Chains A and B, each alone.
Chain A
């Protein structure tokens, strides 16, 4: 610390803010902080509170202790499948879609011709809403007119890609990956473009082949991008909702925690306390990943 102040004493004036600076900082930090408290953190805490009550949304709120959680874990049949599906979704995006996006970015970054064209095409699905992606999945995979079954020519015994509970989750994850891959690719492409070419040249002079250069030199310098991509992968997987909802409202093999929450809160069930308990579980799972990433991120920030 003394070293730091000594080095920067020259005129940085770290704590010397004018009155105007204080007002600017106060107002322009105050507004977003207030908004975030009202829109995000307040409601999140309120959800935690509600999860310990039995409330139907209209009448009085009764304290229920841990009843909701007990009920959830022990006799709510959709719960454990939903947890499993969510984790599978994280794994699929993280182990298949994200590495594929990185691979495409590396290929395009090597300077092939028409790279702008490839880039645009691969990114295009990202701008589509998941509701539309779900609808397109129906066009492709439907049983009566679907393209895939027509190509397979099995009119008499069509594969029910979206209805069969053994395969429909995989189809949904493929459809979600269609969007996810392009997004990851564009982020990595930005990261790769920022890598100093001198590093690669130095590695080449030292006799490293292309693979070694990538894994030993390029990839480690991509750390900030890796953090962002990691966060996005997990968020997308835990939030997955629209696409499943568009196909069959998240039933019959497509149960996800987000769907169960919506079913209990928004539907006619009016089991807000119980729905909130599921929300808290999803919150907990998310926070495990979020905290891991933030610790990484803070370590990186401190290094600069």
Chain B
């Protein structure tokens, strides 16, 4: 597979892959069509992002006069520096990490165990548990907001945990809400994934006298690594991108996560959209990097199933 990728990308000719050599010649013409179609769709999908990058490199006066779809006279990274400093992005980014990293780790751990118990341990009420968690994740967040707000206001925390002395306006609130809300989805996905794993390994482990914890931690979890890696990227981006919870449970501006920092770039009367574009690109960058870096995990997870049959 890696050999196929190393073939110089510039040659336009489709190399007949050994696996499908039988049908390669017949479908060669069709393949060009597929490439043209996929390239067109890819370009359409990339266009808005490229446009935002393009707009962020050009001064406002220029695009205001000629529109965004015009040739550039001047390109610079000035807006990026301005967006980063004007909105104090570094601090907000740190806030997001403080919330997202523990939330993702705890969510995946708890969800993996619940999924294991539901899918691979004969416990009474396993299906009911699955329904309980899955359905919980499907409720629209807006239906939960008010009671949670009142609850968090009334839970006191010592000062070393939260300088607001309550769960409200603390990172704990966001971490808890994100875990409670996301566990359901991860349980659903992981339970489905675990059902595809061969039962025989676990049965052998039971014969060898392995307890529930060993069967979970030493046997099932390592096999779930691809699914967990995929879920981790997904959950990280979701929690990173969330702004509803922070909007409601955080009142101190300096505790807000990064998605809210973009609002600092909106002017009171006039918004410089090119500056906002630079800010958007900066905010989007970490999630794009996480995706591109973990993509290998992701693809490994996707192809794992094919080796099984």
Contacts and interface: CB of A to CB of B under 8 A. Distances in A.
Interface in B3-34: 4-5, 9, 14-15, 17, 19-20, 31, 34
Contact of B69 (A116, A150, A266, A276): A150
A107 interface: yes
Contacts of A29: 113-114, 117, 129
A6 B302 CA distance: 37
Interface string A12-27: 1111011011001100
B192 A150 contact: no
B83 interface: no
A2 interface: no
Nearest to A117: B42
A190 B52 contact: no
B213 interface: yes
Interface residues of A, number: 108
Contacts of B220: none
A36 B181 CA distance: 7
Interface stretch (A91-99, A122-130, A162-170): A122-130
Nearest to B237: A127
B45 A139 contact: no
Interface residues of B, number: 108
A36 B184 contact: yes
B140 A286 contact: yes
B232 interface: no
A279 B51 CA distance: 37
A interface secondary structure, majority:
helix
Contacts of A35: 110, 176, 179-180, 183
B198 interface: no
B274 to A, nearest CB: 9
A258 interface: yes
A269 interface: no
B38 interface: yes
Contacts, number: 290
A6 to B, nearest CB: 16
A75 interface: no
A59 interface: no
Interface in A251-275: 257-258, 261-262, 265-266, 272, 275
A39 B181 contact: yes
Given A190-B301, A193-B305, A286 B138 contact: yes
A171 interface: no
B148 A39 contact: yes
Interface string B193-216: 001100000010011000111000
Interface string A112-138: 111011111111111111111001111
B292 interface: yes
B135 interface: yes
A287 to B, nearest CB: 8
Given A21-B212, A129-B284, A147-B51, 5 more contacts: A36-B133, A57-B146, A147-B69, A198-B309, A242-B243
- By Cβ-Cβ distance, the 10 closest A-B pairs, closest first, are A39-B180, A194-B305, A129-B241, A46-B147, A43-B147, A196-B309, A279-B143, A150-B67, A43-B144, A127-B287
